[in-house]
Amino acid sequence: MPADLHYLSLDEVARRLKARKLSSVELTGAMLRRIGEVDSTLGSYATVTADRALADAARLDAETEAGTSRGPLHGVPIAVKDLCNTEGVPTAAGMAIHRGNVPSRDATVVARLKQAGAVILGKLQMTEGAYGAHHPSIPAPLNPWNAAYWTGSSSSGSGAATAAGLCFASLGSDTGGSIRFPSTMNGLSGLKPTWGRVSRAGVFPLAESLDHVGPMARSALDAAIVLGVIAGADPEDPTAVGLPVPDYAASIDQGVRGRRIGLATNMPGLDEDARRALDGAVGALTKAGAAIVEVKLPDGFDQGARDWVPLCGVEAAVAHDATYPSRASEYGPVLAGLLDHGRRLSAMELARMQLRRAALTGELNGLLASVDLLLMPVMGRAVWSTEALLAAGRDPEVVAERLRYTAPFDLSGHPTLTLPGGMTADGVPVGFQIVGKAFEEGLILAAGHAYQRETDWHSRRPPREGRGMRPSHMA
């Protein structure tokens, strides 16, 4: 087996498995050994299900030998964020209060991955309750590119593990940017689907009308493969839309020739790295045949980011009503602060924000009616060091600034794909977003694939990983 097997694309290992050039047991064993070597430093896994993964891999190899294939994920080791219920495996959602929670059934997305033949390596670490900070008793995963830098939240473990070659793809969730932040900080291709495209049944909520579940992978093609498995209607989740699920991977070569891609003229606060990534995207997509046109973001765009915290807070307060404030001492200060904020919100304030949210959604629909796609930064300040993040604190205006280019698309539910588009002088990845119309994930994935045919940012890997700093958590 090649020494860098763990860094092959999901698509490549799937083809090798199908051709029987590689067995799932061999592949899973190699990944588990790498987790044992590397994750003692990174801390990306909350739980590693080694015995279960090897047993599943053996069963899937037997199916392969019998001529049965469950599809492109058959035998491929992946991992899921620790807010997705997994039968018989602890699911804590990053919360000390839920350390003993062992679900009796799988979340729909986990069940669909298993049905498609994926080997689940374990559960990935995350911030407390999927908000903005890790519980004080749970160490935050490290960024494999540069440990001095933020890993992103809340899907921090998903970002670190996928970038460091500890799984071939992962599931994350995004309520205000939690797929996109760790994707940009770790050099991944992360897809926030349209709200309702992927079931949330069995997924611990932060704010249900804002929560999206989606894939985090090393390329647009790999993300397309995973999305095709997890998307679709679900009787367990009445908000999961019953539209047919396209074969996203099969249509990914459609390209962007003749497509109109909007680039806003009113995007304040972009630093040099963020602008460089956007300029590179413009060049590559133009070379691929797209036409870049100037557009203007709606007047309510920035207000949407400011409204996001209280809107998220009030829905989070509902989600935690059984344990907060009755067990407030078991919560970390950041999540507790959000819940307190939400509980103080008046009905009048909430109504005004909901009306602004509806107006913003309509304005973004109108903007996207004039173009095929939008090109956007992920953050105005392209990357954050851990030191700078701590110094910035939780001031609402600072948080709104960081959420400026992500949260509005959670409020509106539009799909976005984050792609790596550069590196800082400190060797940290920089990303950008492609935004599409509702349920047009196929087009944004095709645009991302076209971009990645012209560039190589997605094929770069962290230069090294430290070892031996933290104990891994095996189960």
How many angstroms separate the Cα of 79 from the Cα of each of 85, 106, 161? 12, 14, 9
**Spatial distance between the Cα atoms of 367 and 396, rounded to a whole number of angstroms:** 27
Contacts of 239 (CB under 8 A, 6+ apart): 195, 196, 200
Spot the catalytic one: 153, 154, 199, 219. 154
Q: Please, which residues bridge with residue 377 across strands? A: 432
Is 40 a known active-site residue?
no
**Spatial distance between the Cα atoms of 158 and 135, rounded to a whole number of angstroms:** 17
**Spatial distance between the Cα atoms of 178 and 153, rounded to a whole number of angstroms:** 5
Residue pair 440/371 in contact (Cβ under 8 Å)? The answer is no
Amino acid at 315: E
Is 23 a known active-site residue?
no
Helix or strand (DSSP H, E) at 62: helix 50-65
Spot the catalytic one: 178, 183, 189, 472. 178
Whats the size of the chain, residue-wise? 475
C-alpha R_g of the chain: 21
- Kindly tell me the burial class for residue 323, based on how many C-beta atoms sit within 10 Å of its own C-beta (0-12, 13-18, 19 or more): middle
Spot the catalytic one: 23, 24, 44, 81. 81
Residue pair 141/157 in contact (Cβ under 8 Å)? The answer is yes
Nearest one of 293, 286, 223 to 255, comparing CA atoms: 286
Helix or strand (DSSP H, E) at 409: helix 407-412
What's the half-sphere exposure (Cβ side, CA atoms, 13 Å) at 161? 39
Take residue 198 and report the two structure tokens written for it.
């992927």
For residue 88, the tally of other CB atoms under 10 A from its CB is 13
Residue pair 173/212 in contact (Cβ under 8 Å)? The answer is yes
Is 154 a known active-site residue?
yes
Take residue 271 and report the two structure tokens written for it.
């630093």
- Indicate which residues carry an active-site annotation: 81, 154, 178
